[in-house]
């Protein structure tokens, strides 16, 4: 009798094959790739599904309190036997990835009595060439530049507003101290630009993940009083043209409930590559 397919933890000798699969899916699964690259092998796990020949055809990254499935279009996935143990030992905060993959895992979780408190759907968007049409209608006096240490307080205020408006689930509470730490991490480790007008920072944009050959852009925020003036488009265009010049493709995901942001990215050349979902538990 053939042994049924079963999820197994990745072994060291499977690293090259695992990375090859992730690279083949990188365009759609940047967060999973980034978490994999930056995982702590002592605390985080990568679970694999292999066929009879030993080839990996699906995987799931479990890092801290997040699960990130990469199922590569597979539909008949055996239920991950380890899920019940995870929820019993470690609180799972989020499940995220391509929507079709997340839906399969949501079903598996519901079978063990775990239901998402909130589900947010996004358009996954990509661009692999220089952006276009981002100088049109640009606001006079607008300066796009890299932030300086003296900008930290203003940058932290923008980050806090961004998190409260775009990131934090509706049932969660904003933590100012954690947001400040996020700002410091972004400033020190990510690529970032700010928009300045009349001596005031009114916008920001940064990378939030780097993988094998791509950057993921996030943290895009413009102060509400200045929206609708082409600031986000100019800021995104200048930022992305620099990233593309580094020889990398660019991905991002934007809420389907935010048509204004979606139009900004499409106008400068982004194309919708698929549906993305984050489910919070």
pLDDT at residue 216 tops 90: yes
pLDDT tens digits for range 5-37: 889 999 999 999 999 999 999 999 999 999 999
Residue 1 vs residue 241, higher pLDDT:
241
The helix (run of H) or strand (run of E) holding residue 145 is strand 143-145
Q: Considering only CA atoms, which of 171, 166, 257 is closest in space to residue 206?
A: 166
Strand partners, 105: none
Q: Kindly list the structural domains of the chain, giving each domain's residue range(s) and its CATH number in brackets, ordered by start.
A: 8-116 (3.40.630), 127-276 (3.40.630.30)
Structure tokens at 165: 């408006």
pLDDT at 137 (0 to 100): 63
Q: Is the dihedral of CA 33, 34, 37, 40 positive or negative?
A: negative
Query: pTM of the full predicted structure?
Result: 0.92
Give dist(CA 17, CA 56) in Å, integer.
7
Tell me what pLDDT residue 140 has.
Answer: 85
Contact 66, 86 (CB under 8 A): no
Give per-residue pLDDT as tens, 147-186: 999 999 999 999 999 999 999 988 889 999 999 999 999 9
């Amino acid at each position: 009798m053939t042994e049924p397919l079963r999820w197994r933890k990745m072994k060291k000798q499977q690293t090259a094959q695992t990375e090859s699969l992730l690279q083949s899916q990188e365009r759609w699964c940047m967060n999973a790739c980034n978490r994999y690259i930056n995982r702590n092998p002592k605390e985080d796990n990568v679970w694999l599904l292999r066929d009879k020949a030993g080839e990996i055809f699906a995987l799931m990254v479990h890092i801290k309190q997040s699960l990130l499935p990469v199922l590569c279009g597979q539909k008949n996935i055996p239920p991950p036997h380890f899920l019940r143990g995870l929820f019993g030992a470690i609180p799972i905060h989020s499940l995220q990835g391509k929507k079709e993959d997340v839906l399969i895992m949501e079903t598996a979780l519901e079978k063990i009595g775990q239901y998402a408190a909130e589900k947010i759907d996004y358009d996954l968007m990509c661009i692999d060439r220089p952006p276009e049409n981002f100088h049109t209608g640009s606001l006079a006096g607008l300066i796009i530049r890299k932030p300086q240490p003296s900008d930290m307080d203003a940058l932290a205020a923008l980050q806090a507003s961004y998190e409260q408006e775009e990131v934090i689930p509706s049932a969660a509470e904003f933590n100012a101290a954690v947001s400040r730490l996020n700002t410091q991490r972004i400033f020190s480790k990510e690529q970032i630009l700010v928009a300045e007008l009349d001596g005031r920072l009114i916008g920001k944009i940064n990378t939030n993940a780097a993988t094998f050959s791509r950057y993921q852009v996030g943290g895009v925020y413009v102060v509400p009083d200045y929206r609708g003036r082409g600031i986000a488009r100019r800021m995104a265009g200048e930022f992305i043209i620099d990233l593309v010049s580094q020889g990398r493709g660019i991905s991002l995901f934007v809420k389907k409930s935010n048509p204004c942001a979606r139009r900004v990215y499409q106008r400068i050349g982004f194309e919708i590559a698929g549906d993305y979902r984050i489910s919070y538990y």
